[in-house]
Structure 1
Amino acid sequence: MTVVAFLSVAPSTNDSMAPEVAKAVAALDEFDVSYETTPMGTTIEAETVGEIFAAAQAAHEAVDGDRVGTFLKIDDKRTKNTDAASKVEAVEAELGRVARSGDGGS
């Protein structure tokens, strides 16, 4: 089964978070997960919850700072194999269009 998760790792800083967030994203490459980074966090897919937890822990620990906030939301659908793309496709089917505004949504 595919486990889908949303991960956001954010250091407390007055400067840009990009360098530290890049470290967190790079840490995911050491694990058997696929991921897509968005402006507010990263969607991760793996075969097990354990892989998600291990990757999230590594991402959290990769970030330097006096204070780091990490949010992890896991969707472990155990009755059906559903990946992140199919979840978006289901919403788009209901909408009858792509699930974004602007040029891509009209």
Structure 2
Amino acid sequence: MTVVALLSVAPVREGSMAEDVAKAVEALEDFDVTYETNPMGTVIEAEDVDTLLKAVGAAHKAVPGDRVSTFLKIDDKRTSTSSAREKVEGVERALGRPARSGTGDEADDA
């Protein structure tokens, strides 16, 4: 089984949060998960929900501050082993093109 989740962790304050978000992302390295960060959050994959929740807890705790906001959306499809990439590929097959605007070269510049 593969559990896929969307995680967003950030301190509640003004200004850039990049350094604090980086601490949350770095905390994921201590767990058996794969992840990809995008402008709205981080997609995480784990073999089971327990591993996922431990990683998410560590990411949440890694962000300093008086107040930290964490959003977590979990897709725990227990009858499938599809990865996040395979889910995107399914959408791309239905579209007949990559699932992003433009030529896709923009992603390579990031």
TM > 0.5 fold call: yes
2:71 paired residue number: 71
2:4 is aligned to 4
Shift of 1:103: 1.8
Structure 2 runs not aligned, ≥5 long:
106-110
Aligned to 1:89: 89
Deviations 1:8-56 (A, max 9, x none): 0011121210010000000000000010000110000010000110000
What is the number of residues matched between the two proteins? 105
SS in 2 for 1:72: strand
> Which residue number corresponds to residue 40 of structure 1?
40
Partner of residue 55, structure 1:
55
CA distance in 2: counterparts of 1:93 and 1:85, whole angstroms: 12
Q: Identity rate of aligned residues, in percent?
A: 66
Q: TM-score, normalised by structure 1?
A: 0.96
Structure 2 residue identity aligned to 1:100: R
Cα RMSD for the two superposed structures: 1.1
In the alignment, residue 64 of structure 2 is paired with which amino acid? D
- Cα separation, 1, equivalents of 2:29 and 2:80: 26
CA distance in structure 2 between the aligned counterparts of 1:48 and 1:4, rounded to whole angstroms: 9
Distance across 2 between alignment mates of 1:96 and 1:39: 25
Deviation at 1:104, TM superposition (A): 1.8
Q: In the aligned structure 1, how far is the partner of 2:74 from the partner of 2:96? A: 27
State the 4+ residue runs in structure 1 displaced beyond 2 angstroms. none
